[in-house]
Structures are given as structure tokens and as C-alpha cells.
Amino acid sequence: MSVRVRFAPSPTGFVHIGSLRTALYNYLFAKRNGGTYVLRVEDTDRTRLVDGAIENMLQAMRWAGVESDEGVVLDKDGNVTQKGEFGPYIQSERLDIYKEHIQTLLDEGKAYHCFCSKERLDQVREEQKAKGLTPKYDGHCRHLSKEEVQKKIDAGESYVIRLKLPENYVIKFHDLVRGDMEFNTDDQDDQVLIKADGFPTYHFAVVVDDHLMKITHIIRGEEWVSSTPKHVYLYEAFGWDKPEFVHLPNILNTEKKKLSKRHGDVAVEDFKRKGYIPEALVNYVALVGWSPEDNQEIFSMKELDEKFSIERVSKSGGVFDVEKLKWVNQHYMKDADDEYLAKAAIPYLVDAGLVDTIGVNEGSDGEAEVKDEDFEYIKKMIHVIKNKIQVIDEINDLAPIFFGEELKLESEDAREFLNMEHIPLLAQALKDKIEQAEQFNSENNQKILKSIQKEHGIKGKNLFMGTRVLLTGMMHGPEIPDTMEVLGKELCVKRIESAISQRG
């Protein structure tokens, strides 16, 4: 039987880093086993619907390179569509299927109508709590006769449909990460399967869909372990084969608490906006909860495909450390696409007042737009500094040196350097050579520095740091010949003049 896995997000408006990891592990497991990765949208909680959430989620997945083979997908123009023979893949479009299946359970006495009001349920819960019992449904409507049920329905009473769990029955399943698990039905609730609005609950829809979509392995977050006995019992009630279960460890922050929005960035979109490289995010997220056989830390998607295995997924929570992610990101920066990084840099440059915006683009991200010539300049700048920063959101550590005619000295040390004796000679030589240069590119700029060394005997730190201070006001920074090329002749000359005028 061929492997079929699924990622089944509820469209909430943003993609948590934990969802990206669940999707990624499903994707990798499918690839590794020559299987199929399905994406199903679980939108039965009508109170949590967010406009555009499905599209946004699929865009984030496309960006991360974790796209599904089947189910809800984006077509090449970026429109949401569905693909595959087990559709529809959006739960709100499958209501007839759930109706048919709940009828089977009702007919077989494995589910029942419950007419209890919210007030009654609250009261029961309070009483149970007062007695020190675990609150659960007290079975009030379990034994209503067919006629009584019909009468209430005809009278227009609101109802839900619950699962009828047998008493003192042990539900067993095997989790590929956690091993054998056992739960007694006496500790379980008669779970609501169909809500008062006629929509199925997650628990019911997930089982029906996983079965009908021929899912072989359910790989999902640890928060669903306690729901799994209910699901397993449903498989038994229908007489269906159970899939394999894999529950992934929670993602924790560096204080070992569950990673939540309160602790800063947790959404894939946040990292995208900050200019993280998708391959870096995926690489790092793969390691939160899974450890490769050796201590390798940098993985391309292809390598992850080859090396990922469920056996090496850990039981205990994986720590998501942004500092580590930045470190991984830095590895990918030097080969990253300049255009992508430049786009991500725009909001930071606009905020810092370095570049003017000409409005907001109409794309889905609604980011600030700049003039074409400014964009070209930003791209050139990024190319030169991308191996000096870990993430684009650090762009303003270096970007200011590329803007403005006036030289801004970064520190007292830089001022001292500027006041050194050899600086006027260096400044004059540089200015002359820059003005005379026919081609002002990195290669020739390198030659300019060499010729100054030869002709004036200024060398080493005096030459390199001196030139850097004269041009950028900084003691350290990106390669000087590259920086000169980006600045261009005119700006270089203006900076040198500004520098000299600031000598004390």
C-alpha cells in the first residue's frame, strides 16, 4: 500500500512555525517513501474563519517550498484550487459525506442525539468539579428512545450528536514516536461529533476524511495525542482499519515554554517579512524535534529528503531558538537572491529614512514601493553586504553608509583614525585616482588601492582602514572595492571631501 499523508490546517490567518514543521515532516515522509502528500483544509469551526486565510497559508507554503501533491493547492497563477480523486478537500464542502456517516453511527446505536442546554452542561460540570471529579458529559440523553428524539426534533429543539462510548473499555493504539498507548473509555467524554449548527466537529470530520482519503500515516502535533483515543474508537465503530499515528513534540521557546505569539515571531509570514531565506527557515525548522544521525546542521531540501526519518523524531519538546535560526540563515545569505532580499529590505530602509517610498504595492504583502532606480541601487548594495549580516532585518547596521553625501563617523576610534597624519595624502591620492578612473568597478578599484600603496607607500591598516573611514566613516564593513563600486564615483569624491572637512 502506498504511503499517503496529509497536512490538515485550520485556516486561522497565519501559519505558525509548528504548522510549517508538521507540513514539512509530512512532505519529507511522503518523499522518502515515494508517497503522496495531501493538503486538506479543516474549516468546520465557523467561528474562526478568516478571509483569505487559505490563500495566505498556501502562499506561505509555496514560499517555503513545501507544496502538496494533492488536495487544496495553488495553481501556477496563485489561485486556490483543488486537485485529486478524493475531493472535495475543504471540509465545509463535504457536509453530505459527514451526514451520511453520522447516520450510519446513529442507525447502529453508536452515536446519539443530545438536547442538553449549555446551562445544564455548565451546571453538571460545576457539580463534578465541586466533587473533585474530572468534568465530562453525564450521559443524560444517552438513553432517549427514538420516539422521544423525534418529538424533540419536531418541536424544533436544538441538538448535537455525540459518540456513545462503551463503559470501561480500553482503547489502544501505537504511536511511531511514543510507542504503545492505552486509554480507558471511563476517562473519556462522549465526544460531540455533529454540532448544533450541523457542522461536524474536528474529531468526526478528521476520521471520516482520513479514512476516505486513504491516509496511511497521521503525522501531527503532540497537542492531538489526547484526542487520538476518540478517533481510534471511531475507526473501530465504523469497522475501518486504523492508520499509523505519529505525534510530534511541542515546539518550545528558549525558556522551555510552548512557543506562542506572546514570545515574538512565530508565524512563517513574520520570518518572510524580515527577509529570512525560505531554505534557511525550512532547514532550521526540520531540526526542531528531529536529529540527523551525524551532527550535520546545514541541509538542502534534497538532503532532508534523503535523510529524514520518523525514527529520529524525539519525544520531548524541541527548542526553537531564533539565534540559532539566524546562524543558519547567515549560511544561506551569500547565495540568496538579491532581488528577494532587496524587496524584504525596503520597509527597513524606508523606516530608517534612507529611501523614499512612492506608495504601497498592490500585491498580497502590501509592502512599500520605491522608484526603480532606488530599487536597483538597493539590489547592488545588498549584493555587497549580504555576507556581512545574518538576516535582512539587520540591514540598517550597514545600509546607512550607502546613503548621503556627508560622512558620518561611527565612533571615537574612527575619528582618531581620520585625524592620523597620513590621511590627507591618502585622501588626495584616492580622490585623484577615483576622478581619473575610466571604469569604476570592484576590480579596478582594487587596482586603485594597489597603485596608491605603490606610489605613496601607504599600506596595510593605514591604507585599508584609512580608505574605509574616508568613504564610510566606519572601521569595519563590507569590502572596500565593492563598496566604492556601489557608491559610484561622485559619491565617493563627496564623501572624501566631507571627511577631510571633519578633521580636527
Of residues 203 and 326, the one with the C-beta less far from ligand GLU:
203
User: Residues 25-64: x/- map of binding to ligand GLU (CB under 6 A)?
Assistant: -----------------x----------------------
Q: Based on CB atoms, which residue is closest to ligand GLU, 22 or 467?
A: 22
3-state secondary structure of 163: strand
Q: Is the peptide bond before 88 cis (omega within 30 degrees of 0)?
A: yes
- 261 tagged catalytic: yes
* Contact string (CB under 6 A) for ligand GLU, positions 294-313, x = contact: --------------------
CB of 223 to ligand GLU, least distance (A): 8
DSSP one-letter string for 393-427: GGGGGTGGGGS-SS----SHHHHHHHTSTTHHHHH
How far is CA 120 from each of CA 113, 129, 163, 316, 397, rounded to the nearest angstrom?
15, 14, 19, 39, 61
Site pattern 151..190 for ligand GLU (x: CB under 6 A): ----------------------------------------
Cα–Cα distance for residue pair 242/245, rounded to 1 Å? 9
Q: Between vectors from CA 90 to CA 89 and to CA 91, what angle results, nearest 5°?
A: 110
Q: Toward ligand GLU, which CB reaches closer, 8 or 301?
A: 8
Which residues have CB under 8 Å from 187's CB, separation 6+? 134
Using the minimum distance from each CB to ligand GLU, give the nearer residue, 10 or 357: 10
Applying CB under 6 A, does 82 fall inside the site for ligand GLU?
A: no
Active-site residue, selected from the candidate residues 172, 258, 261, 315: 261
Q: Which stretch binds ligand GLU (CB under 6 A): 4-12, 278-286, 385-393, 456-464?
A: 4-12
**Minimal distance, residue 218 CB to ligand GLU, in Å:** 6
The Cα–Cα gap between 36 and 477 comes to: 48
> How many residues bind ligand GLU, per CB under 6 A?
8
Among the listed residues 4, 9, 37, 349, the single contact to ligand GLU using CB under 6 A: 9
- Residue window 207-236: x/- pattern of binding to ligand GLU, with contact defined by CB under 6 A: -------------x---x------------
Binding of ligand GLU by 206 (CB under 6 A): yes
Q: Buried b vs exposed e over 210-240: b needs ≥16 C-beta within 10 Å?
A: bbebebbbbbbbbebbeebbbbbbbbebbee
Closest approach of ligand GLU to the CB of residue 249, in Å: 15
Which of the stretches 7-15, 75-83, 255-263, 421-429 binds ligand GLU when contact is defined by CB under 6 A?
A: 7-15
Q: How far apart are CA 474 and CA 414, in angstroms?
A: 6
d(CA 308, CA 299): 10
- Cα separation, 223 vs 249, in Å, equals 9
How remote is the C-alpha of 169 from its chain's centroid? 40
Which residue in 5, 8, 111, 208 binds ligand GLU (CB under 6 A)?
Answer: 8
Which lies closer to ligand GLU via its Cβ, residue 237 or residue 463?
237
Q: Which residue has the cell 510552548?
A: 258
Residue 92 binds ligand GLU (CB under 6 A): no
Complex with ligand GLU: residue 92 or 357, whichever CB lies closer: 92
If the CB atoms of residues 110 and 220 are measured against ligand GLU, the closer one turns out to be: 220
Q: Exposed/middle/buried for 263, CB within 10 Å: 0-12, 13-18, 19+?
A: middle
Grid coordinates given for 346: 525596503
DSSP 199-233: PBPHHHHHHHHHHHTT--EEEEEGGGGGGHHHHHH
Mind telling me the catalytic residues? 261
Which positions touch ligand GLU (CB under 6 A)?
Answer: 8-10, 42, 202, 206, 220, 224
